[in-house]
Amino acid sequence: MSPTKKNNKNLDELITGAIGRDKPEFDFNKWQQNHKREIEIFESQTLVGQTPQHIRPFNIWGIIIKSPITKIAAAAAIIIAAVLILRNGSVDITTPVFGVQDVLVAMKKAQWMHIKYEIIELHSESFSPEEIIRLPETWISVNPHRMVQIFGNGNISFREDELCKETRYDPESNIITITYKSRASDVQPSSIENLLFNQISEIEKEGGIVTYTNDLFQGKPVTVINVDTTNVSESGLSLSLFVDPKTRLPIKFTLGKVDGQSIMASGIIDYPQDGPIDIYKLGASQDAEVVVIDKRDQPELIEVLKPYNKARENLISDYILVTAHKSGSLVTGIEIAYNQGRKQRSERSSVRVPIISSDDDMIAYEKVLGDSVESLLTWARDNKGMTLDIYIYDGQFYYRSNKDSFGKWTIHEELHRPERNPIPLEDLCDLGWPGIPPKNCVKQIENDYSEENNLIAFEVTSGSDIRNGRIYFTAQKTINYLDPSRDYMCVRREMFHHPLSGGLGDTKIKGVDFDPNEIPDEPSFIRFVSEFGRTENGQWYPKKIETHSKRWDADGKENPLSLSSINTLYLKTNPEFPEGIFDPNNLPKEGD
Amino acid sequence: MSDKAERKPVLSKACTEQGRSVERLIEAAVGGDLESFGELCREYYASMVAVGYSVLGEHQLAEDAAQESFARALVGLRNLKNKKRFAPWMAAICKNVAKDMLAEKARRINSSDFTQVGKAEDPDGDDRLIHQVVEQLPESAKELVVLRYYDGLSYEQIGSVLGISKASINGRLTRAKRKMAKYLRRNGFPENRL
């Protein structure tokens, strides 16, 4: 064997041994379970041509039928309410025994609604049998608004929306987690009707067909309200609601295919005078550890943040901001942010770093980029970057084009739902006046650093982000320091992360809201403004931002904070923007 | 030597075995056939995971990136102008998703070296050095090396994903490996093991 061949073989084996792994298997069924919305959009495109979903009428049935199974209890209430709403227009009532309004009145008089699910037969790929089995027994009360659920695995959820409080019990860990939220959850029992009333015209346009028949249930005569969703939902599902003619209350419902032969699920409904009082009455262990997570905002902090938010609103809106990202002594990336009102464009280039073996090399390298907005813009326009990502936000949607490392424009895409994967457009606001997520817990604090530097400090904590049983982001605490003497700029951020034995991807932690109080006292990351700039109009801005972070060795040993990057910002206010720069139609297309 | 090193690159022929070419699957998927899209996902999953890994450097996240890119691709399938470039198009989406994940993670973790991920996956000894040398490579070379050695993709598969010729892959890969060997020697890696 020649030395070259041997060399190749050895190196091949070394690389494969280091980074190789078994071929991953793709589970399409599971993928479909996790991407129902995308499939719905795809299918709607098929049916209505190229019309994107976001401008189509809201398909409430699609939402009901394709809701995650854990929301099925709420969906059941929606189904019932939907029947009450489908009462005129295209609705065909063949045997009106009594008015739908009577049913609505009767339901509103009931204090509690209790739903117990029975599964008769499964004819849907939407839900796996394991999920169906876990349908929770549910109690809903109207006033006060509560939703209580017992899941098949023994977990209990007790939600009191007026108190913005949710109590959850996990029998496996024997932990009760009480979470106070800064605002009530998006879907409340009380808001279901309102939600649907807002959609009524769309539902009527789509034309569900309602018919009435008489039947027996448990030996007693009932009126069955049948809803045929063939015209409303692609899934062709039917709902039958069994109403007691005496009380006018629905006592059972079934959900199945329109032919009436295959029933997917059914639920028995009753209306007890009293419902569950607390989680212990439902079986939570008295000796369970109780963890309280308080995410409510402090009223006094809201006052403190007023000038900060005002400074954010008054921030200059027309500018070009060039950021040179430096890692070590070399600039490795250039980002240009064009900002005009709500419109944004970002161009991110990676820099081809040459071999630096002498001071002369370094001087030549620095000269290529220069040290001003103009020189860096010139560099960028001459397209000397290795790769280039362009993002545009036109005030409504995001668009992007990429030039890959081979110099080809490989993609041009529109992104209508950036909330799922936020677009990394970093503008002046993000860098100096970052937004405060409303769902997180925010409270004002004082510490040595804030006192010594006359800064306002506030702490933001958030739970971990767990999707599909895997941790994406750990629970974290951030301390932000605002400088009142510099337009309330956030001049320093310290981040503290929940320690995880298994790191990200750990599937052992079950709860989404595990205790953020467990995060350590030492920050794992600090970012601060080390140099300030000021525009002609007196607006302060960060001129140089340093980042220090902790690193871990291969054996898991934690090293102290060390400098990881420096960003230098070059700001040009009230610029003349190149023609059409914010127009997504001008973005390079694939193959350009 | 680990089992992984023994594996030979394998060209998946799922499509041809079923008598349905990739192009036909793409046509069918664009026409609204979800199952055909599923076939395409199966066909390109390993490649997309490798693409994701070249950006993220973490197996689990790379799989998430691949799956999320399929979701984006499904929604935007009708925007695909050139059906023959489906795989490069998908790879570009996957890279975007991975970069978004990286940016989002940096925003949340704010650590450019994925310290927390590193805790879970930091390799030891030789593997660590190899990881370092792969990281040192220019982006395009790194991508090629990962595609080739992560799941053992063939030149045909790599060419299909990157939209470049086999000859070009061979040349670039040779240069990348030369650079890697040079780096390893410089860092005291025994010559007789190279």
Encoded amino acid at B188, one letter: G
With an 8 Å Cβ cutoff, are B97 and A11 in contact?
Answer: no
Whether residue B26 is found in the same domain as residue B96: yes
Q: What CATH number is attached to the domain comprising B103?
A: 1.10.1740.10
A50 has a chain B CB within 8 A of its CB: yes
Q: How far apart are CA A472 and CA B104, in angstroms?
A: 10
Asked if residue B141 lies in contact with residue A558, where contact means CB atoms within 8 angstroms, the answer is no
The average pLDDT across A119-137 equals 51
Closest in A415, A476, A550 to B115, CB measured: A550
State yes or no: cis peptide before A221, omega within 30 of 0.
no
Which residue from B minimizes the CA distance to A48? B32
Residue A467 — very low, low, confident or very high, per pLDDT cuts 50/70/90? low
| CATH number for domain A57-294, candidates 2.40.128.260, 2.50.20.10, 3.30.365.10, 1.10.760.10 | 2.50.20.10
Q: How far apart are CA A435 and CA A460, in angstroms?
A: 11
**Around Cβ A492, how many Cβ atoms within 10 Å?**
21
pLDDT more than 70, % of chain B:
75
Q: How far apart are CA A167 and CA A518, in angstroms?
A: 19
With an 8 Å Cβ cutoff, are B42 and A550 in contact?
Answer: no
Closest in A41, A411, A525 to B111, CB measured: A525
Residue A37 — very low, low, confident or very high, per pLDDT cuts 50/70/90? confident
What are the start and end residues of each CATH 2.50.20.10 domain in chain A? Answer: 57-294
Among the candidates B99, B116, B133, a domain finishes at: B116
Whether residue B130 is found in the same domain as residue B112: no
Q: How far apart are CA A65 and CA A75, in angstroms?
A: 8
The DSSP annotation for A329-392 comes to TEEEEEEEEEEETTEEEEEEEE--PPP--SHHHHHHHHHHH-SSHHHHHHHHHTT-SS-EEEEE
Tokens at A563, concatenated: 């400098």
Please tell me which of A54-68, A141-155, A478-492, B169-183 the model is most confident about, judged by mean pLDDT: A478-492
With an 8 Å Cβ cutoff, are A39 and B34 in contact?
Answer: yes
Among the candidates B82, B116, B150, a domain finishes at: B116
The average pLDDT across A17-34 equals 81
With an 8 Å Cβ cutoff, are A20 and B151 in contact?
Answer: yes
Give residues with Cβ within 8 angstroms of A381, minimum separation 6.
none
SS3 B166: helix
Q: How far apart are CA A363 and CA A564, in angstroms?
A: 22
Among the candidates B75, B92, B116, a domain finishes at: B116
Whether residue B85 is found in the same domain as residue B133: no
Whether residue B108 is found in the same domain as residue B127: no
Residues of A with CB below 8 A from B86's CB?
Answer: none
**Around Cβ A481, how many Cβ atoms within 10 Å?**
20
The pLDDT of residue A236:
56
Q: How far apart are CA A365 and CA A373, in angstroms?
A: 17
A126 has a chain B CB within 8 A of its CB: no
Please tell me which of A328-337, A396-405, A562-571, B22-31 the model is most confident about, judged by mean pLDDT: A562-571
Q: Which of B26, B42, B13, B15 is nearest to B84 (CA)?
A: B26
Residues of A with CB below 8 A from B193's CB?
Answer: 10, 14
Whether residue B39 is found in the same domain as residue B104: yes
Whether residue B46 is found in the same domain as residue B111: yes
A554 has a chain B CB within 8 A of its CB: yes
Q: pLDDT higher for A548 or A193?
A: A548
Residues of A with CB below 8 A from B88's CB?
Answer: 410
Mutation site for A-interface testing, chosen from B37, B64, B83, B108 by largest number of A Cβ within 10 Å: B108
Fold of the CATH domain A299-586:
outer membrane lipoprotein receptor (LolB), chain A (2.50.20)
Q: How far apart are CA A519 and CA A463, in angstroms?
A: 10
The CA distances from residue B108 to A252, A495, B58, B104, B185, in Å, are 47, 9, 17, 6, 37
| Chain mean position to CA A365 | 42
CA B115-B119-B125 angle, 5° bins: 105
Which residue from A minimizes the CA distance to B128? A18
Q: Give the DSSP H or E segment for B88.
A: helix B86-109
Q: How far apart are CA B51 and CA A69, in angstroms?
A: 33
Residues of B with CB below 8 A from A402's CB?
Answer: 92, 95-96
The CA distances from residue A135 to A69, A118, A152, A549, in Å, are 7, 9, 7, 45
SS3 B104: helix
With an 8 Å Cβ cutoff, are A18 and B108 in contact?
Answer: no
Q: Which of A230, A192, A199 is nearest to A92 (CA)?
A: A230
Separation in Å, CA of A35 to nearest CA in chain B: 7
Asked if residue A275 lies in contact with residue A146, where contact means CB atoms within 8 angstroms, the answer is yes
Give me the domain span that covers residue B99: 12-116
Q: Total domain count for chain B?
A: 2
The average pLDDT across A43-50 equals 52
The pLDDT of residue A231:
60
Asked if residue A217 lies in contact with residue A73, where contact means CB atoms within 8 angstroms, the answer is no
Whether residue B19 is found in the same domain as residue B81: yes
The pLDDT of residue B18:
39
Q: How far apart are CA B74 and CA A39, in angstroms?
A: 7
With an 8 Å Cβ cutoff, are B177 and A11 in contact?
Answer: yes
With an 8 Å Cβ cutoff, are B115 and A549 in contact?
Answer: yes
With an 8 Å Cβ cutoff, are B93 and A556 in contact?
Answer: no
Q: What part of A 442-501 touches B (C-beta under 8 Å)?
A: 465, 470, 473-474, 476, 495, 497, 500
* Mean pLDDT estimate for chain B: 74
Q: Which of A112-121, A227-236, A431-440 is predicted least confidently? A: A227-236
Mutation site for B-interface testing, chosen from A11, A16, A508 by largest number of B Cβ within 10 Å: A16
Separation in Å, CA of A247 to nearest CA in chain B: 46
Answer yes or no: is pLDDT of A359 > 50: yes
Give residues with Cβ within 8 angstroms of A537, minimum separation 6.
A316, A573
Q: How far apart are CA A4 and CA A11, in angstroms?
A: 10
Mutation site for B-interface testing, chosen from A2, A13, A22, A26 by largest number of B Cβ within 10 Å: A26
Tokens at A196, concatenated: 């649907």
The average pLDDT across A309-336 equals 86
Separation in Å, CA of A403 to nearest CA in chain B: 9
With an 8 Å Cβ cutoff, are A495 and B110 in contact?
Answer: yes
Mutation site for B-interface testing, chosen from A2, A7, A21 by largest number of B Cβ within 10 Å: A21
**Around Cβ A374, how many Cβ atoms within 10 Å?**
11
Separation in Å, CA of A388 to nearest CA in chain B: 12
* Mean pLDDT estimate for chain A: 71
Whether residue B84 is found in the same domain as residue B151: no
The average pLDDT across A19-30 equals 81
SS3 A264: strand
Q: How far apart are CA B56 and CA B54, in angstroms?
A: 6
The average pLDDT across A179-196 equals 48
With an 8 Å Cβ cutoff, are A24 and B164 in contact?
Answer: no
The pLDDT of residue A42:
77
Count chain A–chain B contacts defined by CB atoms under 8 A.
Answer: 247
The pLDDT of residue B112:
27
Q: Which of A374, A320, A372, A312 is nearest to A343 (CA)?
A: A320
pLDDT, tens digit, for every residue of A267-301?
788 888 888 888 888 888 888 888 777 766 666 66
pLDDT, tens digit, for every residue of A470-523?
565 667 788 999 998 999 999 999 988 766 544 444 444 444 444 556 677 788
Q: How far apart are CA A181 and CA A165, in angstroms?
A: 6
Asked if residue A245 lies in contact with residue A224, where contact means CB atoms within 8 angstroms, the answer is no
Asked if residue B134 lies in contact with residue B142, where contact means CB atoms within 8 angstroms, the answer is yes
How high is the ipTM of this complex? Answer: 0.78
The pLDDT of residue A186:
44
Q: Which of A4-8, A43-47, A57-61 is predicted least confidently? A: A57-61
Give residues with Cβ within 8 angstroms of A468, minimum separation 6.
A34
Closest in B59, B68, B116 to A474, CB measured: B116
Whether residue B134 is found in the same domain as residue B48: no
Whether residue B71 is found in the same domain as residue B127: no
Asked if residue A242 lies in contact with residue A215, where contact means CB atoms within 8 angstroms, the answer is yes
Whether residue B88 is found in the same domain as residue B22: yes
Residue A532 — very low, low, confident or very high, per pLDDT cuts 50/70/90? very high
User: According to the 3-state scheme, what is the secondary structure of A269-285?
Assistant: EECCCCCCCCCCCCCCC
Pairing verdict, β A289-294 and A175-180 = parallel
Mutation site for A-interface testing, chosen from B55, B70, B75 by largest number of A Cβ within 10 Å: B75
Domain assignment of residue B106, yes or no: yes
With an 8 Å Cβ cutoff, are B5 and A11 in contact?
Answer: no
